[in-house]
Every structure is written in C-alpha cells, then in structure tokens.
Amino acid sequence: MNFERDFAGGLLRATGSEAIGTITINNPDRKNAVTAAMWRAIPQAVRALTDEAHAHVIILRGIGADFSAGADIHEFDSVRKNAETAVAYEALNSQAFTAIRHCRVPTIAAIRGICYGGGFGLAAACDLRIAEQGARFSVPAVRLGIAYPADAVQDIVNALGPQMAKVALFTGTPMSSEKMAAAGFLLEEIEAGSFDSEVSALAHAIAVNAPIALHASKLAVRAVLEQDGDLLREAEVIGAETFDSADYAEGRAAFAERRKPHFTGK
C-alpha cells in the first residue's frame, strides 16, 4: 500500500511503499533544522508508518542537500530561555529519540550534507547509518553553552564509541564522513551518484524479511547494548513465538520450493 501524510505543517513528511517507510525532514530553507512542532511530530510519524503503513523498515532523511542542522536555534529564546522551558523542550527531543530508538522495525539514517546537533542525535538513535561522501557531523552544544540531552548521549556513545563520543561532545568540532565511517558510526560512505540506490537496496534487503523475526532481533541487540535483562527476556519470548508463526511456515515452504518468501508479520 502507498501511504503519505504530512506532520508539523508539512515540515515533516511520512511516506510508505512496498513495506518501506520514509520520514523526510522537510525544512530546506533552514538546512532542515528541527522545530519544536517537528520534534513533537516525530513519534507520531513513526507510529503512523509502523501501525498504519505496516512498514518493515523506516528510512530517516532530510530533503535536499542536508540531513539536518539540528534543533532550530531561532526558537531558543522562547523554548530554551531558562531551565524550566528547556526541560519541557528537551522532553520533546527525548520523546523523538526514544521513538526512533524503540521503534519495533529497523531504522536507517540516510545522511547527506550537514548532520549537526539534534540531527546527529536522530541519526545516532537509528539502527543503521549511511552517508554520502562529503557529509559533515558535529555536536556543537558545548559551543552554545548548553549540555546535550543525557538520554541522547547513550545513543552517541553506542554508535560512535566512548572516546570519539567524548571528542564530539567535548569539542563540538565538525568531523568528516570518512572519519565517522572509520569510527564505526557509519555503516559506509557512498559516492553521490550511488547514494540513493544504495540506501534503497539496504532498505529493500531488510523489508523482504519476516517482521516478527526483525522485531525479535532488534530487541535482542537493544538488550545487549543497554544491558537490560528484562528486554533480553522479551526478545527471547518474541523469538520463540516465531516458530509458531505463519511466516516461519512460509519461509520453510519458500525454501523448499526455491522461491522468494512472502511474509505477512503473522
């Protein structure tokens, strides 16, 4: 089924086709800076793609030349003018990061151009990250005199490794896609002419697989990263359920018949 819905007055767009969902940050005049309304809408967009569009995988990307310049600093005089307003604003950030981190389907950040601040956090919350050559990465919070949201730091550490995470957070210095790939933050960096096709190929390679098995696998990886025994047991329960699923029967039948399986998530 084809799915399309705008959020935050069109600044965030969710689309879906062939079990692949896409969330597009659509604020090119501001280098895809994320407004408070957009932060609020990200969990809504994720739920729409998983619950209504039945996406097996979600791509997060920015429209045009940039992924995202991060939180829209032009709003800071009102939404981050003091500790009280900042706490409420950062709760929106945290809800967006959590929606991506806890999304039951795999997520891919497709990164072009600038990936700064809150945009970096959104990318770090994704399961996989691919960048076009020439992309630039930075966490400039310290240069503004503020701390990066603590819950988002866990994603940065998990994605970048402790030492490089410290460099990013302590200096705010921009880093190249080459350096981020070497650090393991990126799955790979791709030449401009092949970028869209490579992202699409990865998304399709995931989308054709059984949704319950994907969910169990994602939970198991999260359990390891977060050292969460309860989450690990949940992954084990869901993993065991796959053996009684229609998808497992379909997978066996397709293998025997030498054809591609058609999984339904049941």
Residue 79 in this model has a pLDDT that exceeds 80: no
Q: Using 50, 70 and 90 to split pLDDT, how confident is the model at 145?
A: confident
35: amino acid identity, one letter: T
172 near 143, Cβ under 8 Å? yes
Query: Does 19 or 76 have the greater pLDDT score?
Result: 19
Q: Give Rg (Cα) of the chain.
A: 19
pLDDT at 75: 79
Per-residue pLDDT band for 89 (boundaries 50, 70, 90) equals confident
Q: Which residues contact 58 (CB under 8 A, 6 or more apart)?
A: 20, 21, 22, 23, 46, 49, 50, 103, 105, 106, 107, 108
pLDDT tens for each residue of 28-58: 999 999 999 999 999 999 999 999 999 999 9
Nearest by Cα to 89 from 77, 97, 79, 74: 79
Alpha helix stretches (DSSP H) within 102-228: 117-125, 141-144, 150-160, 162-171, 177-183, 195-207, 211-226
DSSP 75-94: GHHHHTSSHHHHHHHHHHHH
Which of 40-44, 66-70, 151-155, 179-183 has the lowest average pLDDT? 151-155
pLDDT value of residue 265: 85
Lowest mean pLDDT of 17-31, 170-184, 227-241, name the range.
Answer: 227-241
Q: Which residue in this structure is represented by tokens 């697989």? A: 209
**Domains of the chain, start order:** 3-207 (3.90.226.10), 211-257 (no CATH)
Work out the mean pLDDT of the chain and round it to a whole number.
Answer: 93
What pLDDT score does 188 carry? 95
Q: Which of 164, 198, 199, 212 is nearest to 184 (CA)?
A: 164
- For residue 83, is pLDDT > 80? no
DSSP state at residue 71: B
Q: Is the pLDDT of residue 250 over 90?
A: no
What average pLDDT score do residues 176-180 get? 96
User: What was the pLDDT predicted at 177?
Assistant: 96
Q: How confident is the model at residue 266 (pLDDT cuts 50, 70, 90)?
A: confident
